[in-house]
């Protein structure tokens, strides 16, 4: 048994790849069986991940979720800031400059407006729940943008781990409600053509949420929404810890 455990501990990153792979496989199956593909497998996998992190934290009393178990410590490296930023930058590859121009003024504006709107909405809600410091407000506001922008902003401005976890939760809630809610609100907001789909992708930004939500609405809209949504997290990572945080700090004073 000890030898078994030490093999896992010595190969912790490899264990993490296998664990996440198993989690995604299970999530994909749950997505097809329980939600008929309505809720994307990746969203279910993230939900399961947060659930396991809760369980790990409760059981060990540590701060790193499931990675507090030594055999799962590789998850800390795999999901740590270094590889996370590496993968985020990689997603920018293949973005065609001609398509950027085609998205045009409304697409570009929708991304900026979307980041600012989500940031303000999230920060206002956080303020209602008693947060007064600029660091926590900016992190939760950024989390309301996407579950990537939250941790990136939180790490940059030095937020506590629990506030970062809250920002991930807010971003995840957004991703899930966008996926489930898009077909319901599509008729109300005129989401029936490529142009509005691009505006929608830029305003909501959560790539898995937008891609899943648009697929459930009209799959022909997916590439248009995904095109602008792809930029959202990058713009959010650019603005969150900089302009938005500095502005917020000037307003609430520290």
Partner 1 sequence: MVLYGVAALAVCLLVGTLIGELLGVAVGVDANVGGVGFAMIMLVLVTHWLRGKGRFPEATAQGVLFWSAMYIPIVIAMAATQNVAKAVTGGPMAILAGLAALAAGAALVPAVARIGGTAEPLPPLTEHEKQEA
| CA–CA separation, 103 and 60 (whole Å) | 48
Q: How many CB atoms lie within 10 A of CB 151?
A: 25
**Which residue carries 């506590």 as its tokens?**
160
- Compare residues 39 and 156 and give the one whose CB is closer to partner 1: 156
Rounded to whole angstroms, what are the CA distances from 143 to 10, 123, 171? 34, 9, 5
Backbone angles phi, psi at 206, to 5 degrees: -65, 110
- CB closer to partner 1 out of 6 and 91: 91
Stretch of 2-10, 28-36, 45-53 contacting partner 1, by CB under 8 A:
45-53
Q: Contact region for partner 1 (CB under 8 A) — 1-9, 28-36, 192-200?
A: 192-200
Q: Which distant-in-sequence residues (6+ apart) come within 8 Å of 160 by Cβ?
A: 136
* Gap between the Cα atoms of 26 and 4, Å rounded: 24
Return the residue of 67, 211, 226, 227 that touches partner 1, per CB under 8 A: 67
Residue 212 within binding range of partner 1, rule CB under 8 A? no
Region near partner 1 per CB under 8 A, out of 3-11, 28-36, 124-132 = 124-132
Q: Binder to partner 1 among 140, 211, 226, 229 (CB under 8 A)? A: 140
Range 144-183, binding partner 1 (CB under 8 A): 144-145, 147-148, 151-152, 156-158, 161-166, 168-178, 181
How far, in Å, CA of 152 to CA of 169, rounded?
14
> Which of 7, 95, 250, 251 lies at the binding interface for partner 1 (CB under 8 A)?
95
């Amino acid at each position: 048994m000890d030898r078994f455990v030490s093999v896992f501990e010595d190969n912790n990153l490899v264990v993490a790849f296998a664990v996440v792979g198993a989690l995604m496989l299970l999530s994909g199956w749950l997505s097809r069986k329980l939600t008929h593909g309505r809720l994307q497998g990746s969203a279910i996998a993230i939900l399961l991940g947060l659930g396991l992190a809760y369980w790990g934290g409760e059981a060990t009393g540590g701060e790193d979720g499931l990675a507090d178990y030594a055999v799962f410590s590789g998850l800390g490296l795999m999901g740590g800031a270094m590889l996370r930023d590496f993968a985020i930058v990689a997603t920018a590859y293949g973005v065609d400059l001609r398509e950027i121009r085609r998205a045009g003024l409304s697409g570009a504006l929708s991304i900026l407006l979307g980041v600012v709107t989500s940031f303000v909405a999230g920060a206002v809600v956080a303020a209602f729940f008693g947060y007064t410091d600029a660091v926590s407000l900016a992190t939760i506001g950024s989390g309301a943008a996407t579950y990537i922008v939250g941790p990136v902003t939180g790490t940059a401005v030095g937020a506590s781990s629990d506030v970062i976890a809250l920002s991930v939760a807010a971003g995840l809630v957004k991703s899930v409600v966008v996926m489930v809610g898009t077909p319901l609100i599509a008729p109300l907001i005129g989401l029936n053509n490529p142009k509005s789909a691009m505006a929608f992708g830029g305003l909501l930004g959560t790539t898995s949420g937008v891609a899943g939500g648009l697929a459930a609405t009209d799959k022909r809209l997916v590439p248009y929404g995904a095109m602008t949504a792809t930029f959202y997290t990058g713009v959010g990572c650019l603005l969150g810890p900089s302009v938005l945080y500095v502005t917020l700090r000037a307003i609430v004073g520290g």
